[in-house]
């Protein structure tokens, strides 16, 4: 199933998800470094990573939601997409709560509850990411219908005869 939200011939959602995943994970790592060293610079960097990650997560969620609406009803993919999006929404809320806790703290340190929320969110990110992989790798969501090892460039804007034949079930 081809993605609805595309840029330069490729789905936007997988392009965007790497940013919140990386930023949120880095925030947790920097908070661990802060916990070990006591250097508030690390907690401040973590604070801003969470802010940037939340913005990226919202953008990724919009692209993902647009793609999810194209999945046929009453399919395994529709249900998995709902769980995937729901888990990622919970992750975003947990990180936003952790960020809000830090607002009034000196050095934007996470505090006990902030750290717990971050660790729980990262733990939920693993099954959420696996479900995203299941959607793409197993169920073909967001994959171009003409995809194969010799497909033409996505920037070409045209479908080669071999790709059309492959789609019809024949091979040139």
pLDDT exceeds 50 at position 171: no
pLDDT at residue 172 greater than cutoff 50: no
Give the model's pLDDT for residue 145: 81
Residue 58: predicted pLDDT: 97
With b meaning 16 or more CB within 10 Å and e meaning fewer, what string describes 74-110?
eeebbebbeebbebbeebbebbbebbebbeeeeebbb
Banded pLDDT at 82 (limits 50, 70, 90): very high
pLDDT band for position 167 (cuts 50, 70, 90): low
CA dihedral angle for residue 78, residue 67, residue 84, residue 15, rounded to 10 degrees? 150
pLDDT at res. 41: 96
pTM as predicted: 0.85
Q: Return the domain boundaries, the chain.
A: 6-141, 147-172
> What is the overall mean pLDDT for the chain?
89
**Contact at 8 Å (CB) between 56 and 16?**
yes
Q: Are 96 and 58 in contact, with CB atoms under 8 Å apart?
A: no
pLDDT digits (tens, 9 = 90+) for 6-31: 888 788 898 999 999 999 999 999 99
Q: pLDDT digit string (tens) for 100-142?
A: 999 988 889 998 999 999 999 999 999 999 999 999 999 988 8
Residues 136, 143: contact at Cβ < 8 Å? yes
Interatomic CA distance for residues 79 and 81, integer angstroms = 5
State yes or no: pLDDT of 147 exceeds 90.
no
**pLDDT interval class at 56 (50, 70, 90):** very high
High-pLDDT (> 90) share of the chain, %: 69
Question: If you average pLDDT over residues 46-53, what whole number do you get?
Answer: 98
């Amino acid at each position: 199933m081809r993605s609805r939200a595309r840029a330069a011939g490729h789905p936007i959602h997988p392009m965007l998800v790497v940013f919140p995943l990386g930023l949120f994970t880095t925030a947790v790592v920097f908070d661990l470094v802060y916990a070990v060293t006591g250097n508030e610079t690390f907690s401040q960097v973590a604070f801003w990573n969470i802010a940037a990650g939340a913005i990226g997560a919202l953008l990724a969620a919009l692209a993902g939601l647009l793609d999810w609406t194209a999945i046929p009803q009453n399919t395994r993919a529709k249900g998995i997409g709902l769980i995937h999006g729901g888990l990622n929404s919970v992750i975003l809320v947990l990180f936003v709560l952790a960020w809000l806790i830090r607002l009034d703290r000196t050095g934007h340190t996470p505090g006990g509850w902030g750290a717990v929320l971050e660790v729980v969110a990262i733990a939920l990110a693993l099954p959420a990411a696996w479900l995203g992989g299941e959607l793409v790798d197993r169920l073909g969501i967001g994959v171009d219908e003409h995809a194969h090892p010799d497909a033409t460039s996505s920037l070409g804007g045209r479908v080669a005869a071999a790709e059309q034949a492959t789609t019809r079930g024949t091979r040139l």
